[in-house]
């Protein structure tokens, strides 16, 4: 059973959400939407490297927060609520110098006021690169006056 608010949503329905954002700058692309997960890829290149030529931990955290934030947006009624990240952690397990990494996001907790997401990032050889957890606060949208 789907956890998404709109049970008919497809991956194409939210592709434009990254326009003019950090996710677009980093080359993050959503690739797969299941009933209870979302996947996205990110290149390991000049945009995502740290000075030693490895994938920057902040880029991994940005991929994780992008995935978790979009998942929260897909779960809530976006006409009434917004989701904002309030805490993220990331354990960097293995370095990557080039290629593509893929993040997969699944729910740990979906409550009325908070969501907690598990994000696992793997390299092209399916090796674990990073484990991240994101907590998102769900807030009522301010009414326009």
Number of domains in the chain: 1
CATH of the domain at 82: 3.10.129.10
In a domain, 63, yes or no: yes
In a domain, 78, yes or no: yes
In a domain, 5, yes or no: no
Question: Is the confidence at residue 22, as pLDDT, over 70?
Answer: yes
Catalytic residues: 65
Residues in Cβ contact with 138 at an 8 Å cutoff, skipping those fewer than 6 apart: 72, 76, 81, 82, 83, 111, 112, 113, 114, 115
Identify the pLDDT of residue 142: 83
In a domain, 30, yes or no: yes
**Domain membership of residue 97 as a residue range:** 11-140
Identify the pLDDT of residue 145: 54
Q: Which of these, 49, 48, 51, 30, lies nearest to 39 by C-alpha position?
A: 30
In a domain, 6, yes or no: no
What does the pLDDT look like over 39-78, one tens digit per residue? 999 999 999 999 999 999 999 999 999 999 999 999 999 9
In a domain, 132, yes or no: yes
Question: Is the confidence at residue 98, as pLDDT, over 80?
Answer: yes
* Pair 131, 80: CB distance under 8 Å: no
* Pair 49, 56: CB distance under 8 Å: yes
Identify the pLDDT of residue 72: 98
* Pair 119, 134: CB distance under 8 Å: yes
């Amino acid at each position: 059973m789907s956890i998404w608010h709109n049970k008919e949503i497809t991956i194409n329905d939210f592709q434009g959400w990254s326009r003019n954002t950090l996710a677009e700058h980093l080359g993050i692309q959503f690739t797969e939407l299941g009933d209870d997960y979302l996947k996205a890829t990110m290149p390991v290149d000049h945009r995502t490297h740290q000075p030693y030529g490895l994938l920057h931990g902040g880029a991994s955290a940005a991929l994780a927060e992008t995935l978790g934030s979009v998942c929260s947006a897909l779960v809530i009624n976006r006409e009434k609520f917004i989701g904002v990240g309030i805490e993220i952690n990331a354990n960097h397990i293995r370095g990557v110098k080039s290629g593509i990494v893929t993040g997969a996001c699944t729910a740990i907790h979906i409550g009325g006021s908070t969501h907690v997401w598990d994000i696992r990032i793997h390299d092209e050889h399916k090796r674990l690169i990073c484990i991240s957890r994101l907590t998102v606060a769900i807030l009522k949208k301010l009414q326009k006056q």
